[in-house]
Amino acid sequence: MEPGQYEDAIQSFDRALAINPGLKEAQANRAAAEQILKQYDRSEAADWTLLFGKTNPV
C-alpha cells in the first residue's frame, strides 16, 4: 500500500468508529495503519538524511 492509502484507511476507520465506537477490529486496524504510516514517515526522513545530510524541507 502507498502512504495515501493508509491515510484513507485511517479516515475510513474513523468513520466506522464514529458510528460504533466499540468496534474492536476497527480500533485495532486503525492503530496498525497509523503505526505503519508513522514508520513510513520515519523511513523517508532517514532516507533524506542519508542522501542529503538533512531532512526533506517540504
In this predicted model, what pLDDT tens digit does every residue of 4-49 receive, in sequence order?
Answer: 899 999 999 999 999 999 999 999 999 999 999 988 888 877 776 7
**Domain, as residue range, for 42:** 3-52
d(CA 8, CA 34): 11
**Residue 58 in domain:** no
Name the residue type at position 45: A
The pTM of the full predicted model, rounded to 2 decimals, is 0.73
**Structural domains of the chain, count:** 1
**Residue 57 in domain:** no
Q: Which three cell numbers stand for residue 21?
A: 465506537
